[in-house]
Amino acid sequence: MNLINQIERKFGHLAIRRLMYYIILANAAVWLLGNINPTLIKQLQLVPELVLRGQIWRLISFITIPPTFNPLWGIITLYLYYLIGTNLENEWGTVKFNLYYFTGMFATIVAVFITGGSATSYYLNLSLFLAFARINPHFELLIFFILPVKIKYIAWFIWLIFGYNILSSPFNETIAIIVALINYFLFFGKDTIDLIKLKRQVHFNRKRFFDEIASTPPIHRCAVCEITERDDRRMDFSYCKECSDDYQYCSKHINEHQHQKQNH
């Protein structure tokens, strides 16, 4: 029995059902209140120095900060997070989804305390998107409500953004980005490594197969132009009824050649 099953047996009753539903509601509430009082966001950000001064709520409140305050994009983004979160919970079960989210949340907190910066749930929510794309790569999203795009292609673009930000950001932000992906690699790391090993083995097997083919003599060879099936895989070869069985001809020369008789 793996670790997740053990955790589910011991602590499954503590898991929060429909976790993403409550997170989205909290984001919506902060969006409304933030438009009334813009300084609210600063009171919710995860800032280690302020946490150590007693503002403990920041350890949780940072996940309630909405990704944007633009009304249209805010609604679209929150709906997307809800869609992804509920689908992951249905796919994994409540306990595993809770573990994934809270692992990423805890890793974000640790990273912020190490680097001394501040944080929101931006990268944590992106890790949810990557997990969903890994499980449902052919799921289609309508970009601008018109263009259908498979989610795996969007995930590749997000990976590029992660890579660019890791290479171009200051050290503290780089650490925060990498740590935000810990939950993804904890859940998918082994599968990713196994897939890489499998692809590598397939590559070597294919190379060995073609090397073996290259080392064996061709089966067909035209007696006139000496073309073989390796030179043109679509070429047909035939025997001539008037020639010895030792001679084959390609389709271009089967009717245009000098007959060869077997010497007795």
Average pLDDT over residues 161-189: 79
Q: Is 104 exposed, middle or buried (0-12, 13-18, 19+ CB in 10 A)?
A: buried
Task: For residues 8-14, give the mean pLDDT.
Answer: 75
pLDDT value at 52 more than 60: yes
Longest dimension (CA), the chain: 106
Q: Which pTM value belongs to this model?
A: 0.69
CATH domain 3-196 topology = Rhomboid-like fold (1.20.1540)
Q: What are phi and psi of 147, to 5 degrees?
A: -90, 115
What is the average per-residue pLDDT within 59-88? 86
| Cβ neighbours, 10 Å, residue 46 | 25
Domain extents in the chain: 3-196, 219-264
pLDDT of residue 262: 58
Is 58's pLDDT higher than 70? Answer: yes
User: Which pLDDT value is given to residue 1?
Assistant: 45
Confidence band for 214, pLDDT divided at 50, 70 and 90? low
Q: Residue 255: its pLDDT value, please? A: 82
Length of the chain: 264
Secondary structure E strands in the chain: 140-143, 147-150, 237-239, 248-250
The fraction of the chain above a pLDDT of 90, given in percent, is 9
Looking at residue 24, what is its pLDDT? 92
